[in-house]
Chain A
Amino acid sequence: MKSVARSGLARSTLVRSLILVAIVGLILLAVSAFIGDYRNTQLATGAYFFAALAGLTVLAGLSGKISLGHGALMAVGAYAVALLVGNEHWPLAAALAAGTVAAMIIGIPIGAAATRLHGPYLAGLTLAFAVGLPALADTYPSTFGGENGLTINPPTAPSWLGANFSFEHWEAWVACLGALIVLFVLYNLIHSGIGRSMRAARDDEIAAALCGLRVGPTHTLAFVVSAGCAGLGGGLLAVVNELAQPGAFPLALSLSLLTGVVLGGLGSLAGAVWGAALLVFLPSWTTDLGHAFSLSNQVAFNLPLAIYGIVLIVAMLAWPSGIQGGVRAIAGLVRSRFAARSQPAEVAPESQG
């Protein structure tokens, strides 16, 4: 193990990220082959949430900024994909790329403002964005389809996969591929020189500027990359749900993303997996719970939002580093036990919490 880590090949971030993506990809491929259509849709849902959450958590971890507007940025990606696939008949991959770019372009002015704003100012600005944007769909119903939104046809699997290959299975593949691309890009960003400049700008803007870093563009870049991840996540959401409608992007979506990120631990890519799992399973659990205890629809429908709120408060008051932080603390404890016996412990925390 040690000798591998020391060799030049594995020290290259690019190689390590490719190995990571390949392993995760193979696992996802195997999992999606063994589960049914319903579970595949859940897998696809988790994949698009992961894309958005990973972008949000890297923003929080690398530049110390929080965005409440990522739900609205997902809407930008979703509507772009729905318009391009539905009206212009673009191929799916091109439309998803365009959705990503659209969200990045919208992210530029917000990111530029974000470089100068601290804490609650940025939170308020992005909150205003999240509340304001869905109104566009109602204002221009001929373009955006009003309350009903835009529907798109489910993507068809290529014929070489066989006639029995369900479209849910194919959607899971598409969404997981998107999530893997996000993982690849963000992993390399975190471990690159740009990622280090972002952390330097986060920790002390003035010191970083004195060292010759261009603090403003660095912060803006972090926000724009993060917005692109949310746009791709939103585009995949439109593909998986076959629909882009304003009701899918309420303020509650942005808050649930925030909950996922806080629960997973701010800045942790692995934590984004926990967050995505929460966002996928919590609504179906609460629906089941509602049936089991014969709660009224009114209660069951609002239960996830209440749980998100409780998680946010409890996490901040009791456990600010999230699940992944807890896992890391336990792992660190175990590792230092072993290391204490053989040699001095390595002080190289992977995280940017």
Chain B
Amino acid sequence: MTKFIDLTLSGISDGAIYAAVALALVLIWRATRVVNFAQGAMLMITTFIASAVINSTGSYVIGLVVALITGFVFGALVERVLIRPVEGGPPLNAVIVTLGLYSILVAAAGMIWGNTPRAFPAAFSLRGYKVGGTTLLFTPNDTFIVLVVLLVAAVLALLFRFTPLGLQMRAAAFAPEVARLLGTRVGRMFTIGWAFAAVVGSLAGVLVAPEVFLGPNSFDPILISGFVAAVLGGLDSPPGAVVGGILLGLALSYVSGYWQSALVPLVAFVILLGVLMVRPTGLFSAARERRV
């Protein structure tokens, strides 16, 4: 029973990370109809930068802030320089460009920082809470992760629903031509969407790095889980991404606790395969006709 509670709690904290990555993917998908397969590599780079800043200044907060700011600039640059030319083209072209970006970033990180994973500091203690003599697998740092991700999701929801910027971004995503006629600068909305997504991604990277260690390929499984979570949620809906992330986190936590932890990415693949077989557009998506 204790094991079940432990696995549930750690599943929620893993799920929060998946939800954050899924949110980043969903933001980009909504804005530009591109799945950013370079998301894992982009947040890897900003996490390495955070690590360098933390090492030289000794302050976790400064490292986190620098990571978020570089993420914002990085996301905007990537959209403006690499993605803009393939937007609206065949979907394969955008997929291949993001994979090319993934390769370049992973290789660059390997060249600069080496391929051996290194440790990354956590914001809060990694020692589990004690409840009546037993130590839970849930730590103050996990609390921090869950709260931060929930906060981000809430801020995004408020942004999209209640601000002029959010309204313009939704308009640009769903009806670009009409939005452009009405004076929305659609291109700029896309850039901002990518920048926000990269900020959320950078945050996820800094949050999860103490657990997975920091290396060029450390975040590949996180990206896969984030993608599965996003697809579970329909790839289109931020609340769906959060729910999908938590559900996936729980499922994978039980798999790794009761079966084999190394199999987690493969089980994520099987879940994805199952979901796509039953509902090719995700569990929570609305039905949509296809143009002939």
B120 within 8 A of A: no
* Cross-interface CB contact of A120 among B82, B91, B220, B228, cutoff 8 Å: B91
A116 to chain B, nearest CB (A): 5
Q: Name B281's closest neighbour in chain A (CB-CB).
A: A121
Question: In the complex, what's the smallest C-beta–C-beta distance from A312 to chain B, in angstroms?
Answer: 3
A310 at the interface (CB under 8 A from B): yes
With A116-B276, A125-B272, A303-B107 as given contacts, are A317 and B231 in contact (CB-CB < 8 Å)? no
> How many angstroms from the CA of A293 to the CA of B86 in the assembled complex?
36
Question: How would residues 75 to 96 of chain B score, 1 for a CB under 8 Å from any chain A CB and 0 otherwise?
Answer: 0000000100110001111111
Q: Is the CB of A258 within 8 A of B115?
A: no
Residues of B within 8 A of A316 (CB): 86, 93, 96-97, 100
A92 at the interface (CB under 8 A from B): no
Instruction: Specify which chain B residues have a CB less than 8 angstroms from the CB of A131 in the assembled complex.
Output: 220-221, 224, 265, 269
Q: Once bound together, how far apart are the Cα atoms of A64 and B90, in whole Å?
A: 11
Chain A nearest CB, measured from B71 CB (Å): 20
| B125 in the interface (beta carbon within 8 A) | no
Per-residue CB contact flags for chain B residues 266-279 toward chain A (1 = under 8 Å, else 0) read 11110011001100
Known contacts being A66-B92, A139-B263, A317-B85, is A121 close to B103, with CB within 8 Å?
A: no
Which residues in window 221-248 of B have CB below 8 A to A? 221, 224, 227-228, 231
Verify B35–A123 contact, CB threshold 8 A: yes
B side interface size, CB within 8 A: 51
- Smallest CB-CB separation from A314: which chain B residue? B100
**A124 neighbours in B (Cβ, 8 Å):** 35, 37, 224, 227-228, 231, 272
Contact A305 B35 (CB under 8 A): no
The reply on B260 being an interface residue by CB < 8 A is: yes
Q: In angstroms, how far is the closest chain B Cβ from the Cβ of A109? A: 6
Q: Which of A102-121 contact B (CB under 8 A)?
A: 109-110, 112-113, 116-121
CB distance from A314 to the nearest CB of B (A): 8
CA distance A325 to B196 in the complex (A): 38
Known contacts A125-B273, A128-B269; A306 and B101 CB within 8 A of each other: no
Query: Which of A153-161, A175-183, A294-302 interfaces with chain B?
Result: A294-302
Q: Which of B85, B115, B220 is close to A251, meaning CB atoms less than 8 Å apart?
A: B220
- Which residues does chain A contribute within 8 Å of B292, judged by CB atoms? 204, 206-207
Most B CB contacts (10 A, CB to CB) among A123, A136, A303, A304 go to: A123
Is there a chain A Cβ closer than 8 Å to B1's Cβ?
no
The verdict on A117 contacting B100 (CB below 8 Å), with A132-B266, A298-B114, A306-B108 known, is: no
Q: Is A249 an interface residue (CB 8 A)?
A: no
Q: Is A270 an interface residue (CB 8 A)?
A: no
B92 neighbours in A (Cβ, 8 Å):
60, 64, 66, 119
A312: B residues at CB distance < 8 A: 96-97, 99-100, 103
Query: Which B residues form the contact surface with A (CB < 8 A)?
Result: 34-35, 37, 82, 85-86, 90-97, 99-108, 110-111, 114-115, 217, 220-221, 224, 227-228, 231, 260, 262-269, 272-273, 276-277, 280, 290, 292
